[in-house]
Structure 1
Amino acid sequence: MSKFSLQGRTALVTGGARGCGLAFARGLAEAGANVAIFDVIDPNPAFYDIEKVCSVRTAYYKVDVSSQESLENGFAQFQKDFDNALDICVPCAGINRHLPFLEFTYKEHHDLISINVLGLYFTAQLAAKQMIANGTKHGSIVLVASMASHIAVRSQLCSAYCGTKGAVRSMCPAIAKELAEYGIRVNSVSPGYVRTEMTAAFPHLVQGWKSEAMNGRIAEPEDIMGACVFLASDASAYMTGQDIVVDGGVTRW
């Protein structure tokens, strides 16, 4: 079990104020990592309990990942506060829109790309640069994709979201190949339907989501947490460029 330990390591999670991002931050902290989060909204109060409960260091930075200036400033402050330490990065910030393909506007699609693709890509890039500069020995970047990158989602109109998450999954092995020489692993996790504040906006779709899962329920953020901790830890030391689907079997039948 020591392979799963993140004792003494430092992690950064974007979109960590709530939902899956908050669960990932808590899971990494429970495994022993110091954790910082970037988000545009104030954290769920539960975030402030992590430091006390897990006996690790935590920090919150108000950062808009779709803004190059905000992202770079956030990294600069994070580097200063954590003495350039960074071992794990989980770019989780993302948004979705429930709209028909024929009604999607340019601006709505652009907003998704700015956060889900560009924000994630440049978060990973800045994290990799910091890891390389600091000579990180156990660097792990865990990109957050989605089962929507594997299938046409049946119960939701989300063609643009599927495209952005498909971009995440396809860039993962390419980035992994380039960073392998620095000892940095890059993998992705693809959650299925998860009960979060974001999906709470679609209560009329929940019953359909449950019927699509083999086990008849949608996930809680904690159900996805273990995959993230596994990919961040030495337990997955021989994995890079891979995607783990955690979807209750939705994509398999």
Structure 2
Amino acid sequence: MTTAAEDLALIAEAAREAGELAAELRLKGLQIDYKAGNSPVTNADLAADALLKYRLGQARPEYGWLSEETADDPLRLGRQRLFVVDPIDGTRAFLNDRPWWAVSIAVVEGERPIAGVVFAPQLHETYTAAAGAGAELNGTAIAVSGASALENCGMAGDPRLFEHPAWPIPWPAMRVEQRNSTAYRMCLVASGVFDAAVAPVPKHDWDLAAADLIASEAGAFVGDHTGRPFRYNGSKPVQASLICAAPALAPLILDRVRHIAEPK
């Protein structure tokens, strides 16, 4: 069995190849289709997915595979390790020539990621982590912020969410900014650019796994709105919600979101 560091080197190189391919295809003009739920998918998503499936499958044929753009194969459930992939996380940003899209790849062993990379090609940012070895941005160690109050904190999320009148307790004034890619939002928390990211809606494993490891290794709390950490490679690869936050902020956020009903 290869080490987490060896797997990280493999997926980091593959992520760069896939990101460069996606950027090249966009320059040539995209073919756009829509999946269930009106979610866009482009020829670049599919080409990057195919590249990664071939490249990683050739290197680690014994690993399972789970990707947003590939039909799920239940054989993954019996594999000791698997790749969890989103070839383009933040497709709407990709379509609109915003830089906040990324290639996200994790290696999951059992139920937890042991290697993860999130590569944002337009920003020239590569976030990486191996279990127990810390997290890095472009080869330099990163860590979460020391924020300890919600007031005036940096929150990566949809401003409309926090302004909604249904919250039992209104959120305080915060710097709230949207980033289309869930994985990239979590990496911004990992690097201390933002203090937290909140999404009280279900998220798929491929949205989360790589950035979960990166943020956790950088010192963040990562889990759902009940405070549970994520467990990956289940029969239904979906998590209830996302809370990613500096450790002192996490309990303050969880106090405000625990009332949310879990999806059935």
TM-score (norm 2): 0.27
More strand per residue = 2
TM-score (norm 1): 0.28
More helix per residue = 1
Q: Which has the higher contact order (CA 8 A, sep 6+)?
A: 1
